[in-house]
């Protein structure tokens, strides 16, 4: 009786989800937060993807804070480039996946926003 009907997201929804992932590379967590707040009641797909991007960017901010603290013992200097590369790679993978209308789940991410 209560069958869940899943439909593919519209092209506009896929584009918004893609932007939530890609803009995080340039502007950190702010674009995904804004997109999530605007679309959370309108599009479940965009809300899910923006929230996933937001959680990933928050995790990166925490990682950068840890790397900064570890620069005292020189380990942090190696972590900054690693975090930068991870951000580029995972944002591109997520954006391509979202542009196809598929959900993406970042690995190694703290899911703080539920």
User: Would 64 be classed as within a structural domain?
Assistant: yes
User: Would 15 be classed as within a structural domain?
Assistant: no
Please give the pLDDT value at position 6.
63
**Residues near 106 by beta carbon (within 8 Å), at least 6 away in sequence:** 52, 53, 55, 56, 59, 90, 94
Residue 18's closest CA among 56, 40, 57, 45? 45
User: Would 109 be classed as within a structural domain?
Assistant: no
pLDDT digits (tens, 9 = 90+) for 77-110: 899 999 999 999 999 999 999 999 999 999 999 9
Q: With the C-alpha atoms ordered 16, 19, 24, 27, is the resulting torsion angle positive or negative?
A: negative
**pLDDT level of residue 5 (50, 70, 90 thresholds):** very low
The model's pTM: 0.88
User: Would 1 be classed as within a structural domain?
Assistant: no
Q: What share of the chain in percent tops pLDDT 70? A: 95
In the chain, how many domains are there? 1
């Amino acid at each position: 009786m209560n069958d869940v009907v899943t439909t593919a997201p519209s092209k506009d929804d896929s584009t918004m989800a893609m932007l939530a992932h890609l803009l995080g590379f340039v502007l950190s967590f702010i674009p995904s937060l804004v997109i999530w707040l605007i679309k959370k009641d309108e599009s479940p797909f965009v809300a899910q993807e923006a929230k996933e991007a937001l959680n990933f960017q928050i995790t990166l901010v925490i990682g950068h804070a840890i790397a900064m603290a570890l620069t005292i013992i020189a380990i942090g200097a190696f972590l900054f480039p690693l975090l930068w590369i991870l951000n580029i790679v995972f944002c591109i993978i997520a954006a391509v996946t979202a542009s196809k209308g598929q959900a993406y789940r970042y690995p190694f991410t703290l899911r703080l926003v539920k």
